[in-house]
Structure 1
């Protein structure tokens, strides 16, 4: 996955997380399905950020 694809994915995950959290504020909380989705978004976001950091580290130390 290219760097821009990772950052685009991170932006998409953040947008969805924001929408869920905003809806929760206006509707008195999250449904069980929404809570599950939020946890999955957080997991995916952590993984994408870790991938981006690994990619950035590799580019710093790449001799090619």
Structure 2
């Protein structure tokens, strides 16, 4: 996955997380399904950010 795709994916995950959290504020909390989705989003976001950091580190030390 190219770098721009990773950052696009991160932005999409953040947008969905924001929508869930904003909805929870306006509707008195999250449903059980929304809580599960939020946990999954957090996991995916952590993985995507980790991937981005690894790619940035590799490119910083790339001799090519």
Tell me the TM-score range normalised by the shorter chain.
over 0.9
What TM-score comes out, normalization by structure 2 length?
0.99
Provide the residue aligned with 2:28 in structure 1. 28
Write out the 4+ residue segments of structure 1 that deviate beyond 2 Å after TM superposition.
none
- 1:42 partnered with 2:42: yes
Deviation at 1:29, TM superposition (A): 0.1
Q: What is the distance in 1 between the residues matched to 2:18 and 2:61?
A: 35
Deviation digits for residues 37-56 of structure 1 (CA, Å, limit 9, x no counterpart)? 00000000000000000000
Deviation at 1:19, TM superposition (A): 0.1
Give the length in aligned residue pairs: 64
Provide the alpha-carbon RMSD of the alignment.
0.3
Match of 1:43, SS state, is helix
Deviation at 1:10, TM superposition (A): 0.1
Structure 2 unaligned residues grouped into runs of 5+? none
Structure 1 unaligned residues grouped into runs of 5+? none
Provide the residue aligned with 2:10 in structure 1. 10
